[in-house]
Amino acid sequence: MNSAVIKTPLGNAILEGDEEGIVRFQLMDEEVSISPTPAPEFCEAIEQLEEYFAGHRKIFTLKLNPQGTEFQKKVWQALLTIPYGKTTSYMELSKTLGDPLAIRAVAAANGKNPLWIILPCHRVIGSDGSLTGYAGGLWRKKWLLEHEQQEKQQSLF
């Protein structure tokens, strides 16, 4: 398994994976040195993440290999159906998966998502519209949702 640390507008992030795909992408609170020359298998992922943060990419087309239970993988796959710039609630996600009573299990699986941003768990909010839990911190969730807003206000200065 190879890893790389890259710089993002939300802090440094670790990217891990191998020939089977990207296993983990997570933002870090602690300072870690940036990888000077990332492994070749990360070039496409780094390019797509840079495009996302620059506002030029809405969908990732990467080979992914997140590690988790079958239920977690089902939840993570469902995250890919949430369109860029939109949100859904944990309840709606549970209904999408066919079990509205699984809301807590869906929330727990969402919280274990190893591929932040790529599998857009930040697009899942509370039924009342509140910004509920995000492993990277609510300030990052807020930033990501604002970043993805369809109509960005242009600054005159």
Q: Which amino acids are annotated catalytic?
A: 121
Integer Cα distance of 133 and 126 in angstroms:
9
**Beta pairing class for 21-27 and 88-89:** unpaired
Residue owning tokens 């369109």: 83
The answer to whether 140 and 122 have CB atoms below 8 angstroms apart is yes
- CB atoms near residue 16 (< 10 Å): 17
Query: What's 26's DSSP letter?
Result: E
